[in-house]
């Protein structure tokens, strides 16, 4: 098998989905790829870099809201784009087991392509920051419950999809003061 970043990421995602972040070590990933750990480090010099690449993959489909930073929102449409952005962050983080923790670690170590926190703050100010921390907390909470369900062998509860509708409603509540008109 050709060892390249996308093969490595596919195997890492597989380990995550099956066993969770605690079991994703460079050594184990190398074994799963049947290569020496050194070969892995050539592509990802550290676990931080690997988690950054996984987070980037998770966030690939999350489109920034395309509003004018700092400007007062002009339309309900602009406002909805910001709501959608926050919900998309939640959906991305909960699309992979322990995805919220991985995204957070990657943001903290600066290995993601984008700084979500800054994006949200720029477009929606301090309410954007509240919305970001809300979706982060909600995602961490649902994934902590999934981890417990998984440890107890309750596969259904572990797979239960996070309720994005509920999160959307709450993001709308948080950002309501920004709604123009």
Judged by the rule CB under 8 A, the positions of this chain that interact with its own copies are 104-105, 107-109, 117, 126-127, 129-130, 132-138, 140-141, 144-145, 147-148, 170, 173-174
Shortest Å distance, C-beta 66 to its own copies: 24
Q: How many angstroms separate the CA atoms of 102 and 55, rounded?
A: 6
Shortest Å distance, C-beta 48 to its own copies: 8
Q: How many angstroms separate the CA atoms of 154 and 174, rounded?
A: 33
Shortest Å distance, C-beta 108 to its own copies: 4
Q: How many angstroms separate the CA atoms of 146 and 88, rounded?
A: 20
Nearest residue (CB) to its own copies, 36 versus 176? 176
Cα 44–159–98 angle (5° rounding)? 30
Shortest Å distance, C-beta 118 to its own copies: 13
Nearest residue (CB) to its own copies, 39 versus 137? 137
Does residue 73 come out as left (phi exceeding 0), alpha (psi in the -120 to 50 range) or beta?
beta
């Amino acid at each position: 098998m050709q060892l390249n970043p996308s093969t490595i990421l596919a195997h890492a995602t597989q380990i995550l989905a099956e066993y969770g972040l605690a079991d994703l070590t460079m050594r184990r990933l190398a074994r799963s790829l049947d290569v020496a750990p050194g070969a892995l480090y050539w592509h990802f010099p550290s676990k931080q870099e690997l988690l950054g690449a996984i987070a980037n993959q998770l966030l690939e489909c999350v489109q920034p809201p395309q509003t004018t930073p700092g400007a007062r929102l002009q339309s309900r449409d602009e406002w909805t784009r910001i709501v959608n952005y926050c919900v998309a962050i939640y959906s991305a983080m909960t699309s992979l087991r322990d995805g919220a923790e991985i995204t957070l670690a990657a943001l903290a170590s600066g290995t993601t392509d984008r700084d979500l926190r800054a994006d949200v703050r720029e477009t929606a100010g301090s309410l954007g920051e509240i919305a970001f921390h809300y979706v982060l907390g909600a995602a961490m909470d649902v994934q902590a419950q999934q981890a417990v369900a998984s440890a107890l062998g309750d596969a259904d509860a572990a797979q239960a999809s996070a309720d994005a509708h509920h999160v959307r409603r709450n993001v709308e509540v948080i950002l309501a003061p920004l709604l123009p008109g």
